[in-house]
Chains A and B, each alone.
Chain A
Amino acid sequence: MTQQDTFFILAPVAEGRAEGLVSVLESMTFRPGFANPDNPLVPFGQFDQLHMARFFLVQANTWRDIEAHGQTPRPFRLQLAFLGDVDGRRDVFLRELVTRCADGLFEIFNHCEGVHDGTDLLRWMDEHNVEEAANYVNMRGRTVSQIREEAALATALRDELDGIVNAQGTADPFGLHRHLVEFVGRQKASGRLHLTQPARVTWREWVVDKIDLVSVPLLILFLSPLLVLLLPLFLLRLRLAERSDPEILPRPDDDRISDLGRYEDHDVTNPFSAFGDVKPGLFRRSVTTVALYLLNYAARHIYGRGYLTRVQTIHFARWVFVDDKRRVLFCSNYDGALESYMDDFVNKVAWGLNLVFSNGVGYPSTRFLIKGGAALESKFKRYLRNRQLPTQVWYKAYPGLTARDLARHGEIRKGLEVRPDGARALRNWLAKI
């Protein structure tokens, strides 16, 4: 199976270079934030293994909020983030990236500290790569080329189906299926359609995966006597914190909201970038670490087949710790407008968001780590939007396609390769075309 890998390069912007950097980034886009896939600096479209990528400036808008916890706020230097999701290994991609567009990368990264003529960019990027704390992939193993092949298949089948329905009607789904299978066979033979078989899971991958799968439950089982003992203490500590942690939820600045809007809704999918502080102290830091660890585990083994709990509209999502776990960066790619995305958060997975984000400074009050919080709609939206950052450059390899489209295309292909059982299942399959 072709695994997806990630890269997340984060580096401080050199003093006084921010404005220049923004205009370089703007030169890479068609519309605000929406990348030109053929831009001369980083022609994203040339990389067949690249799903999504973005450049954005990481600015701490809420860094002063921690004062409410009695802490001295620590300013955060403006940083540039460059992240993406690729098929195969990160180092392979980055090497290819540097080989193909070293000049463009240099033009961007020379606005960062420590990059000048002669800097080995590959090494520099490697040094500035931040490992994710948690990573969600909508469909593990699905490659960009598979997505494109399946999209082409769906389009071709749709046209063909229209034609044969006109000729033979809709009465015989088995006949229609047979016809479509033969049609695709001919198209493949003539090279008009490609359906590359996904790479098989190797023995080695299988074993590693299964060991990883059982390790966490085993560890929890092993520690369970201790965990049971610690649970009351944990809950007590948690409730104390939850009752005293301040909510800091000023109304987001209207001009900021308007400005963020400029970058949104140029495609059916939108990027979301946000940055906030973790509540001070070992307790919250540990809870965040464990929550993200478990989230990452769940994303690896439970989700990753098209849905993250009830939400089916997220392509990729990433949480990384920054600044010695004092802060968290959250980046995701979701379908629909931001209001729909936040609506899913509030109405479908408030509990899940609370597990992670309630450890953030200023978050709406939670109860027992899962209740309250994001369920407080207007407060939660304020929290999120106060931390949202514009994404200056965002690339998606399959514009116009939602996660649901990708899943549907996959289901169409599956039904083509293995005929659905029975007339009713077959009609459901036809309905997807």
Chain B
Amino acid sequence: MTHAPDISSEPVAFDDMQGLIRFGHGALVEAEFVLCTISDPNAAGLWLDHAPVTSAEALDAPPKVALQVAFTVAGLRAMGVDEGHIAEFSQPFQSGMSGEDSRSRRLGDTGVNAPSEWDWKGADAHILIMLYARKGGLSEWKDKTLDSSFLAAFKQIHSFPTRPNDGTEPFGFRDGISEPKIDWKDARPPAKHGREDFSNLISPGEVVLGYRNEYDEHAAAPDVNDAPPGAHLGRNGSYLVMRQLAQDVPGFWTYLDTMADGDNERREQLAALMVGRRRDGTPLIHDRHDIAGSPRKNDFTYDDDVNGTSCPLGAHIRRANPRTGDQPHRGQGRLGWLLSTLGFRRRRDKLPGRHDLVASTRFHRLVRRGRAYGSALTPEAALRPDAPKDARGLFFICLCADLVRQFEFVQNAWIASPTFNGLTGEADPLLGNRQPFCGVASDGFTIQTPSGIGQRLAPLPQFVTVKGGGYFFLPGLTALRTIARHGRQEV
């Protein structure tokens, strides 16, 4: 089924890419995100021209600070980018995360998660400024970057401080363990990234516009192919998704504690079953397989756990990354491949029917760059009756080249759907909004057991509430200067 790649692998221009695409800036533990409108496009152009936006080049010494800049479609318009160029951007970016009821329906942004309840919408903003610094350096970096020329050009509408990054999300779990590895050298043709086995490698074109993607195609990108040099708006850019997810940490641990009858170990066990990992990040699946592009501690698939007795079928990490290859039957020769392709290998399966409902994970990977906010609260502290109820949660941030195929697909078909993987009546145990989804209840959670009789928790309370969100475009550096020139009306 492989065919000769007709796109030669091309060197990746790190120097023209924003650093966030390649680095999570994990060592820059302090971060703040600022949402602004553009009040003076000319002044904005001047500021953007001189802004020290961090590139993806690896430096000899790791940077002490970083700055990244992303635009909404309204922001591009405000900068004077003409409609012809804007029309080249993808439909979801133009429409925005909250622009259509049907999109909200698919993303599970209904009920208390509905955009009408949000604190902020990307659609009301123009530009997202992302500031990162080492411990203690953020306020100085912020003052220096958002100087008087910035204030003359932009009007701040929201500022989102974050919690110093310690690799832990607010419920107390290690986060960001399972990231796809971008095959920057593009050495392996996309056909080899998955095809049969799950692989953790993805092509650059899954994240950066203008490069070869997992389908061996160029990611659809504004102007990538035929615009004159210097006018490439899409090249080396990426779509950035940001969602503010408020987490009810006391609610989460109190619920689990009640379900565990106050038993510490049982409570931790239940939490681990919901997530699919223990709090320190240890996965519930113990069998290790060699997976291309994956660190040893993360080398596992669910192939040997079709019944979900080790890791529940609906556990958070199993939904967010099902780790399936392209073919349900592997290494069985050409005849086996043919029979499987024709759909004739189902009866031999341990669980007929469920297998192969979720396949080809490699086309639905996200590069996550989120940060937590609000003060830290340990599970023990969260269980106290006087536990602080102040706001905490996660700024979920991810990068992808195709908003629909990647972010929206994962959020819709894997996270929010109550019929994921043949299950019924349950959405993601952490993220679910517990509202009926497409007319089907989604407020349960089933822990499969070897006895065949699952332990069913229902109704689950809602632990995570969407408070805001938007789709942004993270331009390449040349494109950023082009946008700046548009603002100064030099284009």
Q: Which residues of A contact B (CB under 8 A)?
A: 161-162, 165, 170-171, 173, 176, 254, 257-258, 261-262, 264-268, 303, 306-313, 335-337, 339-340, 343, 346-348, 351, 367, 371-372, 375-379, 399-400, 402, 404-405, 407-408, 411, 426-431
Contacts and interface: CB of A to CB of B under 8 A. Distances in A.
Contacts of A430: 451-453
Nearest to B88: A251
Contacts of A258: 91, 95, 100, 102
Nearest to B309: A431
A265 B307 CA distance: 29
A426 B453 CA distance: 11
Interface string B84-114: 0001000100110000111101100000000
B413 A375 contact: no
Interface in B113-163: none
Contacts of B95: 254, 258
Interface in B313-363: 326, 328, 340-343, 346, 350-354, 356-357, 359-360, 363
B448 interface: yes
B439 interface: yes
A262 B105 CA distance: 10
B389 interface: no
Given A340-B412, A348-B359, A399-B439, 14 more contacts: A306-B353, A309-B343, A311-B343, A312-B353, A312-B357, A336-B419, A337-B412, A339-B413, A343-B363, A343-B405, A343-B409, A348-B360, A379-B217, A430-B453
Nearest to A382: B220
Given A170-B449, A312-B356, A337 B454 contact: no
B294 interface: no
B454 A261 contact: no
B343 A307 contact: yes
A257 B91 contact: yes
Contacts of B356: 310, 312
A267 B438 contact: yes
Contacts of B404: 339
B3 interface: yes
Contact of B453 (A161, A303, A378, A402): A161
A373 to B, nearest CB: 12
30 contacts: A170-B451, A170-B453, A254-B94, A261-B103, A262-B100, A265-B438, A268-B419, A268-B438, A303-B343, A307-B346, A309-B341, A310-B359, A311-B343, A312-B353, A312-B356, A312-B357, A337-B106, A340-B412, A348-B360, A351-B341, A372-B3, A378-B220, A400-B440, A404-B354, A405-B419, A411-B352, A427-B452, A428-B452, A430-B451, A431-B307
A271 B106 CA distance: 16
B196 to A, nearest CB: 13
Contact of A347 (B106, B360, B438): B360
Contacts of A431: 307, 351, 448, 452-454
Contacts of A402: 419, 424
Most chain A beta-carbon contacts within 10 A, residue among B95, B353, B405, B456: B353
A228 to B, nearest CB: 21
B408 interface: yes
Nearest to B345: A310
Contacts of B359: 310, 347-348
A346 B182 CA distance: 23
B209 to A, nearest CB: 12
A350 B91 CA distance: 24
A193 B198 CA distance: 45
B173 interface: no
Contacts of A400: 438-440
A377 B456 CA distance: 39
B229 interface: no
Contacts of A309: 341-343
A337 B448 contact: no
A268 B439 contact: yes
Nearest to B102: A261
B385 interface: no
B419 A337 contact: no
Main secondary structure of the interface of A (DSSP, over half): helix
Most chain B beta-carbon contacts within 10 A, residue among A171, A375, A400, A426: A400
Contact of B409 (A170, A268, A339, A399): A339
A340 B322 CA distance: 15
A399 B404 CA distance: 26
Contacts, number: 139
A404 B451 contact: no
8 cross-chain pairs, A with B, having the tightest CB-CB distances, nearest first? A427-B452, A261-B102, A430-B452, A170-B451, A309-B343, A347-B360, A431-B452, A377-B215
Given A173-B451, A339-B409, A347-B326, A308 B343 contact: yes
Interface in B447-477: 448-454, 456
B417 interface: yes
B422 interface: yes
A376 B356 CA distance: 21
Contacts of A306: 353
Given A173-B451, A310-B343, A404 B100 contact: no
A375 B341 CA distance: 14
A367 B413 CA distance: 31
Contacts of B449: 170
A308 B360 CA distance: 18
A339 B353 contact: no
A376 B456 CA distance: 42
Contact of B353 (A311, A408, A426): A408
Nearest to A308: B343
A261 B342 contact: no
Interface string B397-410: 00000001100110
Contacts of B454: 431
Nearest to B423: A404
Contacts of B346: 307
Contacts of B456: 162
Given A254-B91, A376-B215, A335 B419 contact: yes
Contact of A336 (B220, B417, B448): B417
B106 A404 contact: no
B425 to A, nearest CB: 10
Nearest to B437: A268
Contacts of B351: 428, 431
A170 B452 contact: yes
Contacts of B453: 161, 165, 170, 176, 430-431
Nearest to A404: B422
Contacts of A265: 102, 105-106, 438
Contacts of A376: 215, 217
Contacts of A347: 326, 359-360, 363
A26 to B, nearest CB: 16
Nearest to B353: A407
A371 B3 contact: yes
A348 B324 CA distance: 13
A130 B220 CA distance: 39
Contacts of B357: 312-313, 404
Contacts of A161: 453
Contacts of A377: 215, 217, 363, 405
A35 B489 CA distance: 52
A375 B103 contact: no
Contacts of B342: 309
Contacts of B106: 265, 337
A303 B363 CA distance: 27
Contacts of B409: 339-340, 343
Contacts of A336: 413, 417, 419
Interface string B70-89: 00000000000000000100
B423 to A, nearest CB: 9
A171 B352 CA distance: 24
A309 B452 CA distance: 29
B424 to A, nearest CB: 6
Contacts of A378: 215, 217, 220
A411 B353 contact: yes
Most chain B beta-carbon contacts within 10 A, residue among A258, A309, A310, A313: A310
